Structure 1
Amino acid sequence: MSDFLMNKSNNAYHYLSALDCLNLLTEDQKKELIANKVDLEFAPHETIIKRGILADNIIYITEGLVKLEIVNDTKPSTIGFTQAHSFVGIVCCFAFRKYDFTATSLVKTNVSFIPMELFESFIKSNGKFALSLLKHISGVANSFFHRITSLSQKNIDGALAIMLLDFVKIYGSYNYKLPVGRSEFANILGYSKESVINTLSKFNKESIIKVDGRKIEIIEFNKLLQISKHG
């Protein structure tokens, strides 16, 4: 099972990270970034970005986990999660003057607000950084497309299996605690709370996973992986 965590070639969502991009800044640019960024801490389930506010900062997560949502026909839809050492909503930041999504912390989350003008100056003056950022944005967009398309084609078993495996990647472990309750988990998947509870119970009875409240242990990894592909 460790190959799933260690082998990047098995991860369809692997791409050049935000940290890789920032490491390509010059020493002077890094000092300038540190001098101008603003660091804030958010409690679990606190709004980091409210849809419609001005996009005047690039937001970088130093610790925690963030849920991204967009609104279609007044109904919020979760488009993905963003974890530590990632930018928040980077695929939208340069296209619109206002954020077109909501970002909410799922656990205690620390973020750095980097002034947009400063970030753009780095792009204009540092070609290596600009190219790496372009590759990063393409990777993020591609992962969102794959995730949304995959979930839309799955039944509840397949969708839930995908989410459970997503959290394996996020936490780097086959044992973790879900950052949300059953109701919010159901909203993220787009299924009823009862469907999620029943499917978790079924996976538990079949010894595919072990469920203890929010604690999850992946027992039969290969079975869960097959369900995520064919469910």
Structure 2
Amino acid sequence: MPNFITQKGNLNNKIVHAKDCLNLLTDDEKQELVNNKTDIYFEPGEHIVKKGILANNVLYLTKGLVKLDIINESKQTTVTILQSHSFIGIVCCFAFRKLDFTATALTKAQVSFIGMDIFEGFIKNNGDFALSLIKHMSGMSNQLLHRLTSLSQKNIDGALAYVLLDFRSIFNADAFELPMSRVELANMLDYSKESVINTLSKFNKEGIITVDDRKIKILDRNNLEQICKLG
């Protein structure tokens, strides 16, 4: 079976993770999931979900990074970056007949498409799974609200520092390659592309980071964390 439904879960964590939910399926349910899911591979920049498509499947990101975008009044905003072993837009899947977001691969990605009828059957028949899914969705919603609120209250310096530290955590390294263009960063931060470029340049000149196209190296993490906190 795929590793995401055989690894040991840890429901003592503050946030219940997606794979913890799946690990609460019975052996028969896990086998039913395996027999009925469809795995699709995506290249960087390829759309996984487009706003307006029917919510026929629950999507599970097995490998890669994916960004979630919401479009309001023709303005596109990146609301979160999803890592491996995450549901894609699970909070929206059960709310409307059509999905209200766009999901795009930032790196090569593998996504499991699980039929909505199969998934709803698990919810109806497995109380432990249903409860863990509610806890997961609640935790993710809370995390997303705090993230968006925090970013909206920061100036460009603080917001960019926040996101750079976020990517440092994702890649678990001080040196990494941004999986986003300057325009995509601007959409995430709700600032102009020029502001993002100028601030990256300023951080570079001040010796906080080095920048080489999309390659970033954090040289002074303490300073960056202070800018994030105060910006």
Return the TM-score normalized by structure 2: 0.91
Q: Do structure 1's residue 56 and structure 2's residue 82 form an aligned pair?
A: no
1:178 is the counterpart of 2:182: no
Question: Which residue pairs with 2:188 in the alignment?
Answer: 188
CA distance in 1, matches of 2:124, 2:224: 45
Q: Could you tell me how far apart the structure 1 residues matched to 2:199 and 2:112 are?
A: 38
* Native 8 Å contact 2:78 2:184 kept in 1: no
Q: Is the 8 A contact 2:61 2:112 kept in 1?
A: yes
Find the counterpart in structure 2 of residue 224 from structure 1: 224
Aligned counterpart, 2:42:
42
Task: Please report how far the alpha carbon of residue 181 of structure 1 lies from its aligned counterpart in structure 2 after TM superposition.
Answer: 1.9
Taking the TM superposition and a 5 Å limit, the aligned residue runs for 1:142-221 are: 142-221=142-221
Counterpart of 1:5? none
Between the two proteins, the alignment pairs up a number of residues equal to 219
| Secondary structure of 1:104's aligned partner | strand
> Structure 1: which amino acid aligns with 2:55?
A
State the partner residue of 1:16: 16
Query: In 1, distance between residues paired with 2:193 and 2:51?
Result: 26
Structure 2 distance, partners of 1:80, 1:16, is: 17
Shift of 1:36: 0.1
Matched residue type, 1:15:
I
The answer for unaligned runs of 5 or more in structure 1 is 1-13
Amino acid at match of 1:96: F
Q: Report the alpha carbon displacement of residue 228 of structure 1 after superposing the two structures with TM.
A: 1.0
**Once the two structures are superposed, what CA deviation does each residue of 1:122-155 show, in whole Å capped at 9, x if it has no partner?**
1111111111111110111011101111111111
Per-residue deviation, 1:229: 1.4
How far apart, in 2, do the equivalents of 1:171 and 1:72 lie?
30
Structure 1 segments, 4+ long, off by >6 Å, are none
Distance 2:172 2:122 in 1: 32
Structure 2 residue matching 1:201: 3-state secondary structure: helix
Distance 2:149 2:99 in 1: 23
Coordinate RMSD, CA, aligned: 1.4
d(CA) in 2 for partners of 1:172, 1:225: 15
Percent identity (aligned): 62
Return the offset for 1:183: 2.3
- The Cα shift of 1:184 comes to 2.2
TM-fit CA distance, 1:74: 1.5
Deviations 1:76-119 (A, max 9, x none): 11111111100000111111111011111111111000001111
Alignment of 1:86 onto 2:86: yes
Amino acid at match of 2:28: D
1:72 corresponds in structure 2 to 72
Shift of 1:20: 1.0
Q: Quote the residue 1:129 is aligned against.
A: 129
